[in-house]
Amino acid sequence: MKTFEQDKELKQLLKSVKLESPGVDFSAGVMNRVFAEQSALEKAKQQPLFGKGFWVIFSLFVALIIVVVLLSGEGSAVAKVPDFFPGADVDAALSGYRLLLHRLSNLPAGIAGILFGASLLILLENFLETRHHAVR
Amino acid sequence: MEEKDDNYYIEKVIAGQTSYFSYVVEKYQDVVFSIALKVLKNREDAEEMAQESFVKAFKSLHTFQRKAKFSTWLYRITYNTCISETRKKKQYFASTDEVQISDEVEEMNFDGIPAENREKYIKAALAKLQEDEYTLVLLYYFEDQSVEDISKVTGLSGSNVKVKLYRARKKLYVILNEMLKEDVYSIL
């Protein structure tokens, strides 16, 4: 018996058979989906890497850092507050702030680590997704 | 009009001229659909998965490295997409009636098959092959793919492809011979 490579007759016979075809609108259907993918890609390219929410949270975080820096420098910025706002009770504000810091410092470091890690992962996912769309 | 090489259209699509992808779809839709139909066994699912395969190919066109033929790459996407779909639906390959292949399968005289019925016979015989055998026969005999390319499409080793092709061809002969005998008996 011939090997399958030598069987030219079978090849010829099989090639004479018409393969099954999909419906007449198959090609149009594929192209519609392809164009939809293309427009989704264009949209993704136009979207900024970081959304509005990110910038709001980031601004709040920066504001918090500024407040912390101002309040921790005792005798500097804090000391000048009564000059600008004569009725302000700076001592009460400072003690409240210290209480908050004290409570925060009592939180287990693990929780802070988890929150930090989760934030990093969300950021990374956002970045990779945008990049993936851009490459496509 | 002169038919361009696949790479010509691929370059155009990558460069942003998406409509050139329709040439690729038109050229390969029958083979892609035939593979999907054999694996999934119904036209509706096969059309959906064939469409899915083309869209997947479009989405990852930039990763096509041109080391293999575009068709090989596309058929691999199709085959894997359809196999994944059957697994998702927990639809296992239902074995077709097992055809007994003896060692002494006689050579086939194709002239014995009436010319007007040849296509009908061949299609019926192909339908009796299992999914993987059909895909191998389709790629090797219809599409002139090499054993190496088929190995890339199916994930089988080269020697395994050869063994399966050998068995599939024998099986085709057995099926065709049986069909011819049945027809002769029915005439008598």
Span A18-74, pLDDT tens digits: 888 998 999 999 999 999 998 888 887 777 777 777 888 888 888 887 877 776 655
Question: Which tokens in the block code for residue A73?
Answer: 């420098």
Q: Given 1.25.40.10, 1.10.10.10, 3.40.1190.10, 2.40.160.20, which CATH number is that of B110-187? A: 1.10.10.10
**Strand, coil or helix: B99:** coil
CATH number of B6-88: 1.10.1740.10
Give the closest residue to B51 by CA, choosing from A30, A57, A7, A109: A30
Q: What is the mean pLDDT of chain B?
A: 84
What is the pLDDT at residue B111? 66
Band (B112; pLDDT cuts 50, 70, 90): low
Question: Which tokens in the block code for residue B69?
Answer: 């033929």
What are B45-104's pLDDT values in tens digits? 999 999 999 999 999 998 888 888 899 999 999 999 999 998 887 655 555 555 555 555
Is residue B8 less than 8 Å (CB to CB) from chain A? no
- Across the interface, whether the CB atoms of B62 and A135 are under 8 A apart is answered yes
Distance of CA B20 to the CA centre of its chain: 24
Question: Which tokens in the block code for residue B97?
Answer: 């009636």
What is the pLDDT at residue B46? 94
Q: Which member of B25, B110, B165 has the closest CB to residue A27?
A: B25
Structural domain boundaries in chain B: 6-88, 110-187
Are B50 and B104 contacting, i.e. CB atoms less than 8 angstroms apart? no
Q: Give burial (CB, 10 Å; 0-12/13-18/19+) of A76.
A: exposed
What is the pLDDT at residue A50? 73
Q: pTM to 2 decimals?
A: 0.67
Q: Residue B81 and residue B83: Cα distance in Å, rounded?
A: 6
Radius of gyration (Cα) for chain A, nearest Å? 33
- Across the interface, whether the CB atoms of B141 and A22 are under 8 A apart is answered no
Q: Which member of B55, B62, B107 has the closest CB to residue A34?
A: B55
